């Protein structure tokens, strides 16, 4: 473990990514303390440019709400949705992929055809359909994003399980009388984790982008402000006040970039493990 | 019964008319095609054959990694189905296996002590303290230190890893160990360490080995009895010395002649041409008909194992 | 004494900015001779072969010493001139023919490719040569197999194709790195016999890299034993195998389950394992495992002692 962390910190991309993510997380945690009034409170004249008014460093939007407060509170929603959707996608994807890859045969066929079915529909459209059918709320958005993300995880986990279940150490576990569930959970899954972790960081980035996209289209949770909501609201004033779109846009870009950098760093740090044989 | 024992000790492993078929339909491959073998307690049966002869499939069927298509594997006189977990656990105390590649047979994420102790945990043998003590004993027995027990497989050499695999296989006190090419991935000097260790363990614990190898000199060194396998069948079987001194089957003679280094290569007798070049023979003919210099009329019928001497049998019409 | 065909002189190979893998190696191969280079994994034998071919992997570099083929210093040639020699005058055969053959080209194309690259002949002529080579290595039914893909052949047949490709331009020297290790014993015997015949008929020299003393006995004229990147013994096969001088060579021979030794006799173990390149002992590399170790073995590497008959060894016991 210590060895792994050492390798991770030797990778500049991982360090930059982690740094940005920690900053975003700090913003999310600090939001209710620094802006207890919440992102909806109107605190000044509308359409103040960044730097124009002291105390409102990022300016205000068309209704005079503090953009800084929006970014802070939006970070909570974007991170929450990104992480929760990824966690849900991991649960479904790992379960489906593990069972399909470990047992093979007809179980594999059935599960993989279901996965195929999900993958034939363009993911963003599917997310829109789900959110439109059930009312948009934070939890339904999380579910919608999880529903479009799990097939990728399932395929990845299945491929890892197909490879690992043929290894002799798995045969050896069968021979000592270990049960299938225990083999899956204690033997194969830990060895399949590195690519899953890497994919999860990329998936979180995609989830944040998808949420921003949904909110931009007005399909976000109307009760909360996310970065996507802010971009969506700023869109109509884009020509007069481009900063309304650019600032939350930058926040999304930075966070997604940070997650991708972290994914790269994790990939490099984790990959030596199984591949450094002999 | 030519293949069975002269002593009154009951065999610890009885393989009767075992057939293992891979795949189905016209593609089906009879990897093991009617094998009957016995192993007595404390004895080593060396099974030798070339790649694709079915020896690894036989090993997996004996160990319980696959259900045979027909025939039986009896351990301690009874058949142990492998479908149910409880049966598999009971079977695990009879037979364990050592694999060829010590880089794939140990879980890279677990410490050595955990790998060796896992069988005890699965079977719930003893509490944590007792298990720790047993693991220390096992490590000591295979010549590893307690410090090495705290390491991970990738920190050990190939020979040390194979010792770990042997310690794990011994944890449940099985009566028979299936060793599938346990030294072929190792350097010569390390091979000697592992072969010596296996001999010592056999003497101390009265273990029986089904020892599989492609290397006849290793088999000759370790085995009390030798069985030669070709295309799914046993073509010769007998006491090690008599098979070695008087090989009765032409294929066994070919294998012995092919061991490099006994003579300069140019003067070696010409061996038969490559197996892959042989066209598929008719189903009833001797499987060696296309490679065998002796092939004649009677070889259109496949011979069964026939006694050729004291405790020695071969499946060849010309072996008597 | 005529000049050797291939000469390595004080060749040192190592990781760039890291440990040395082969240290001060002197070797030579005479015309038409089989030199076996023997050692266990990590002794540097494969790295030496790659260095001769100019095919060292990334990160490994020649730190000093030279490789000379027939008077030409290969180590000072440009990459382009080295390419012209590689394949034409020296060819290499690898352990696993499946990974060294291109799976999407027919075997005939791959042999012909070697010929065209070095001799600039027409497609038709190159194909004719490929067929000739496949017949020469006794690939059964060569006229049909020339259009086969590697996966359609057995391991032994693929190794024959590799040998055919190596022979295509009539090289003076073939370097064979564990050419039969991946093959069954009966196939191994056939491939060894083929190599032996080719050498007899065409006078091709062979540098045979192997871990198997049986193969050495069967094939080689001379043998060099490597341990941890250092040559520890060298001589004619009968000298070295019948009267090994270095303790390591002796133990290596005794560790082998010998077919004639009979069963149950305890094999000689070499305790411990090969030191890793970054933790080489200052003295003799074998000292930590040697049963006949003397205090001075730990001080500095032993000097090379030769005999008039060409049997040399690096061990203080023979000072």
pLDDT tens string C65-76: 999 999 899 988
pLDDT at C208 over 50: yes
pLDDT at B280 over 70: no
- Cβ-Cβ contacts under 8 Å, A177 against chain B: 85, 88-92, 119, 122-123
Share of chain C above pLDDT 70, in %: 97
What does the domain layout of chain C look like in residue ranges?
6-89+171-318, 97-170
Question: Is the minimum CB–CB distance between A181 and chain B shorter than 8 Å?
Answer: no
Weakest-pLDDT range from A78-82, B263-267, B273-277, C283-287: B273-277
Question: Is the minimum CB–CB distance between C215 and chain B shorter than 8 Å?
Answer: yes
Contacts of A85 (CB under 8 A, 6+ apart): A141, A142, A143, A145, A146, A149, A204, A207, A210, A211
Q: Which residue has the higher pLDDT, C230 or C278?
A: C230
CA distance B81 to chain C (A): 34
B112-135 mean pLDDT: 95
Q: How far apart are CA A60 and CA A74, in angstroms?
A: 15
Determine whether the interchain pair A171/B65 forms a contact, defined as Cβ–Cβ distance below 8 Å: yes
Q: Of the candidates B92, B100, B107, which has its C-beta nearest A169's C-beta?
A: B107
How do strand C20-29 and strand C6-15 relate by DSSP bridges?
A: antiparallel
pLDDT bracket for residue A173 (50, 70, 90): very high
Determine whether the interchain pair A172/B99 forms a contact, defined as Cβ–Cβ distance below 8 Å: yes
pLDDT tens string A23-51: 999 999 998 888 888 888 887 788 878 87
Weakest-pLDDT range from A55-69, A210-224, C222-236: A55-69
Contacts of A1 (CB under 8 A, 6+ apart): none
Share of chain B above pLDDT 70, in %: 90
Chains in contact with chain C (at least 3 beta-carbon pairs closer than 8 A): B
Determine whether the interchain pair B108/A274 forms a contact, defined as Cβ–Cβ distance below 8 Å: yes
C276-305 mean pLDDT: 90
Burial of residue A70 (CB within 10 Å: 0-12, 13-18, 19+) is buried
A55-69 mean pLDDT: 83
Determine whether the interchain pair B196/C267 forms a contact, defined as Cβ–Cβ distance below 8 Å: yes
**Average pLDDT score, chain C:** 88
**A2-33+66-275 falls under which CATH superfamily?**
MetI-like (1.10.3720.10)
DSSP string, A217-275: TT-S-TTS--HHHHHHHHGGGTTT-THHHHHHHHHHHHHHHHHHHHHHHHHHHHHHHHH
Cβ atoms of C215 and B79 closer than 8 Å: no
Determine whether the interchain pair C270/B260 forms a contact, defined as Cβ–Cβ distance below 8 Å: no
pLDDT at A101: 95
Determine whether the interchain pair B192/C269 forms a contact, defined as Cβ–Cβ distance below 8 Å: yes
Cβ atoms of A173 and A187 closer than 8 Å: yes
DSSP string, C30-85: -TT-EEEEE--TTSSHHHHHHHHHT-PPTTEEEEEEEEEETTEEGGGS-HHHHHHH
- Cβ-Cβ contacts under 8 Å, C213 against chain B: 188, 261
Q: Which residue has the higher pLDDT, A275 or B192?
A: B192
Determine whether the interchain pair C189/B268 forms a contact, defined as Cβ–Cβ distance below 8 Å: yes
For an interface test with C, the pick among B189, B226, B247 (most C C-beta atoms closer than 10 Å) comes out as B189
pLDDT at B275 over 60: no
B221: DSSP letter: H
Q: How far apart are CA A25 and CA C104, in angstroms?
A: 51
pLDDT at B174 over 50: yes
- Cβ-Cβ contacts under 8 Å, C255 against chain B: 188-189, 191-192
- Please give the residue of chain C at the shortest CA–CA distance from B224: C263
- Please give the residue of chain A at the shortest CA–CA distance from B102: A168
B91-116 mean pLDDT: 93
The CA R_g of chain B, rounded to the nearest whole Å, is 20
pLDDT at B273 over 70: no
For the record, the structure tokens of C7 come out as 């000469």
B66-82 mean pLDDT: 89
pLDDT at A191 over 60: yes
pLDDT at C200: 86
- Please give the residue of chain B at the shortest CA–CA distance from C197: B266
CA distance C240 to chain B (A): 14
Determine whether the interchain pair B154/A276 forms a contact, defined as Cβ–Cβ distance below 8 Å: yes
pLDDT at B114 over 50: yes
CATH number of the domain at C6-89+171-318, out of 4.10.520.10, 1.25.40.10, 3.40.50.300, 1.10.1750.10? 3.40.50.300
pLDDT bracket for residue A277 (50, 70, 90): very low
Burial of residue A95 (CB within 10 Å: 0-12, 13-18, 19+) is middle
A62-75 mean pLDDT: 87
DSSP string, chain A: -HHHHHHHHH-HHHHHHHHHHHHHHHHHHHHHHH-TT-TT-B-S-TTPPTTTSTT-TT-B-TT-BBHHHHHHHHHHHHHHHHHHHHHHHHHHHHHHHHHHHHH-HHHHHHHHHHHHHHHHS-HHHHHHHHHHHSPP-HHHHHHHHHHHHHHHHHHHHHHHHHHHTTSHHHHHHHHTT--HHHIIIIIIHHHHHHHHHHHHHHHHHHHHHHHHHHHHTT-S-TTS--HHHHHHHHGGGTTT-THHHHHHHHHHHHHHHHHHHHHHHHHHHHHHHHH---
Q: Going from the N-terminus, what domains does chain B have, and what CATH number goes with each?
A: 1-94+176-185+198-320 (3.40.50.300), 103-173 (no CATH)
Instruction: Return the H-helix or E-strand segment holding B75.
Output: strand B70-75
pTM (2 d.p.)? 0.85
pLDDT at C262: 59
- Nearest alpha carbon to residue A5 among A269, A240, A231: A269
Determine whether the interchain pair C252/B268 forms a contact, defined as Cβ–Cβ distance below 8 Å: no
Q: Of the candidates B95, B103, B168, which has its C-beta nearest A172's C-beta?
A: B168
Cβ atoms of C288 and C275 closer than 8 Å: yes
pLDDT at B2 over 50: no
pLDDT at C175: 94
Q: How far apart are CA C184 and CA C95, in angstroms?
A: 13
pLDDT at B139: 96
- Nearest alpha carbon to residue B202 among B175, B163, B239, B167: B175
Q: How far apart are CA B229 and CA B226, in angstroms?
A: 10
pLDDT at B277: 43
pLDDT at A142 over 60: yes
pLDDT bracket for residue B128 (50, 70, 90): very high
pLDDT bracket for residue A67 (50, 70, 90): confident
pLDDT at B216: 87
ipTM: 0.85
pLDDT at B262 over 80: no
B214-230 mean pLDDT: 91
pLDDT at C100: 82
pLDDT at B282: 62
Q: How far apart are CA A42 and CA C267, in angstroms?
A: 88
Q: Of the candidates B217, B224, B265, which has its C-beta nearest C218's C-beta?
A: B265
pLDDT at B274: 39
pLDDT at C255 over 60: yes
pLDDT tens string C132-164: 989 888 888 888 899 999 888 888 888 889 989
Question: What residues form DSSP beta bridges with B47?
Answer: B212, B227
pLDDT at B276: 39
Weakest-pLDDT range from B102-106, B239-243, C134-138: C134-138
- Cβ-Cβ contacts under 8 Å, B103 against chain A: 277-278
Contacts of B44 (CB under 8 A, 6+ apart): B202, B208, B209, B211, B222, B223, B224, B225
pLDDT at A272 over 70: no
Q: How far apart are CA A200 and CA B145, in angstroms?
A: 40
For an interface test with A, the pick among B75, B92, B102, B109 (most A C-beta atoms closer than 10 Å) comes out as B109
């Amino acid at each position: 473990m210590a060895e792994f962390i050492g390798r991770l910190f030797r990778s500049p991309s991982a360090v930059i990514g982690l740094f940005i993510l920690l900053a975003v997380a700090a913003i999310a945690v600090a939001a209710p303390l620094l802006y207890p009034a919440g992102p909806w409170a109107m605190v000044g004249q509308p359409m103040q440019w960044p730097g124009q008014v002291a105390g409102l460093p990022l300016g205000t939007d068309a209704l005079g709400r503090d953009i800084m407060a929006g970014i802070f509170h939006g970070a909570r929603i974007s991170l929450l949705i990104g992480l929760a959707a990824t966690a849900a996608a991991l649960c479904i994807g790992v379960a489906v992929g593990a069972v399909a890859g470990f047992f093979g045969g007809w179980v594999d066929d059935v599960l993989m055809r279901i996965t195929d079915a999900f993958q034939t529909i363009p993911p963003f459209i599917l997310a829109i359909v789900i959110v439109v059918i059930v009312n948009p709320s934070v939890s339904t958005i999380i579910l919608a994003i999880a529903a479009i993300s799990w097939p990728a995880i399932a395929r990845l986990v299945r491929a890892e399980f197909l490879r690992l279940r043929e290894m002799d150490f798995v045969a050896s576990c069968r021979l000592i009388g270990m049960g299938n569930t225990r083999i899956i959970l204690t033997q194969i899954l830990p060895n399949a984790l590195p690519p899953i972790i890497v994919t999860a960081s990329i998936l979180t980035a995609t989830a944040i982008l998808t949420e921003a996209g949904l909110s931009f289209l007005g399909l976000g949770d109307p009760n909360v402000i996310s970065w996507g909501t802010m971009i969506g609201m700023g869109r109509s004033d884009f020509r007069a006040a481009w900063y309304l779109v650019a600032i939350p846009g930058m926040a999304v870009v930075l966070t997604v970039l940070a997650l991708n950098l972290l994914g790269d760093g994790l990939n490099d740090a984790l990959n030596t493990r199984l591949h450094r044989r002999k | 019964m030519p293949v069975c024992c002269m002593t009154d000790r009951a065999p610890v492993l009885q393989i009767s008319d075992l057939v293992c078929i891979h795949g189905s339909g016209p593609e089906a491959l009879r990897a093991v095609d009617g094998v009957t073998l016995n192993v007595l307690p404390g004895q080593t049966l060396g099974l030798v054959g070339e790649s694709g002869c079915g020896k690894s499939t036989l090993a997996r069927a004996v160990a319980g990694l696959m259900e045979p298509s027909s025939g039986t594997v009896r351990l301690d006189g009874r058949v142990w189905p492998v479908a149910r977990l409880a049966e598999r656990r009971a079977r695990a105390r009879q037979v364990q296996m050592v694999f060829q590649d010590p880089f794939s047979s140990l879980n890279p994420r677990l410490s050595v002590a955990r790998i060796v102790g896992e069988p005890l945990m699965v079977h719930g043998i003893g509490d944590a303290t007792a298990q720790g003590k047993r693991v220390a004993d096992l490590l000591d027995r295979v010549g590893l230190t307690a410090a090495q027990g705290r390491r991970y497989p990738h920190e050990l050499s190939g020979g040390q890893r194979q010792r770990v695999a042997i310690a794990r296989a011994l944890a449940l006190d099985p009566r028979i160990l299936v060793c599938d090419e346990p030294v072929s991935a190792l350097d010569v000097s390390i091979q000697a360490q592992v072969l010596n260790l296996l001999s010592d363990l056999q003497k101390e614990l009265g273990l029986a080995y089904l020892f599989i190898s492609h290397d006849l000199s290793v088999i000759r060194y370790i085995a009390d009895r030798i069985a030669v396998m070709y295309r799914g069948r046993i073509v010769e079987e007998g006491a090690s010395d008599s098979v070695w001194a008087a090989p009765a089957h032409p294929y066994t003679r070919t294998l012995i002649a092919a061991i490099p280094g006994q003579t300069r290569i140019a003067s070696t007798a010409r061996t038969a041409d490559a197996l892959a070049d042989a066209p598929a023979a008719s189903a009833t003919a001797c499987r060696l008909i296309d490679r065998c210099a002796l092939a004649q009329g009677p070889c259109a019928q496949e011979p069964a194992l026939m006694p050729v001497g004291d405790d020695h049998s071969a499946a060849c019409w010309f072996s008597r | 004494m005529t000049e050797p065909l291939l000469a390595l002189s004080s060749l040192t190979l190592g990781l760039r900015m890291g440990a040395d893998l082969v240290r001060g190696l002197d070797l030579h191969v005479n015309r038409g001779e089989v030199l076996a280079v023997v050692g266990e994994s990590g002794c540097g034998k494969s790295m030496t072969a790659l260095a001769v071919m100019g095919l060292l992997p990334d990160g490994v570099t020649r730190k000093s010493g030279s490789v000379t083929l027939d008077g030409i210093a290969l180590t000072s040639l440009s990459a382009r001139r080295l390419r012209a020699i590689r394949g034409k005058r020296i060819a290499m055969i690898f352990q696993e023919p499946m990974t060294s053959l291109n799976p999407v080209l027919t075997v005939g194309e791959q042999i012909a490719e070697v010929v065209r690259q070095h001799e600039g002949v027409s497609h038709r002529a190159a194909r004719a040569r490929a067929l000739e080579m496949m017949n020469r290595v006794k690939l059964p039914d060569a006229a049909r197999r020339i259009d086969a893909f590697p996966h359609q052949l057995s391991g032994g047949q693929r190794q024959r194709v590799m040998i055919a490709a190596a022979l295509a331009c009539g090289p003076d020297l073939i370097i064979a790195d564990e050419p039969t290790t991946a093959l069954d014993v009966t196939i191994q015997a056939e491939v060894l016999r083929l190599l032996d015949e080719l050498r007899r008929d065409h006078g091709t020299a062979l540098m045979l890299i192997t871990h198997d003393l049986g193969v050495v006995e069967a094939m080689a004229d001379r043998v060099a034993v490597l341990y941890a990147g250092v040559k520890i013994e060298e001589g004619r096969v009968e000298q070295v195998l019948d009267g090994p001088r270095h303790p390591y060579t002796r133990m290596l021979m005794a560790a082998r389950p010998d077919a004639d030794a009979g069963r149950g006799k305890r094999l000689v173990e070499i305790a411990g394992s090969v030191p890793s390149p970054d933790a080489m002992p200052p003295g003799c590399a074998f000292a930590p495992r040697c049963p006949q170790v003397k205090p001075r073995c730990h001080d500095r590497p032993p000097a090379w002692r030769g005999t008039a008959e060409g049997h040399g060894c690096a061990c203080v016991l023979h000072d």
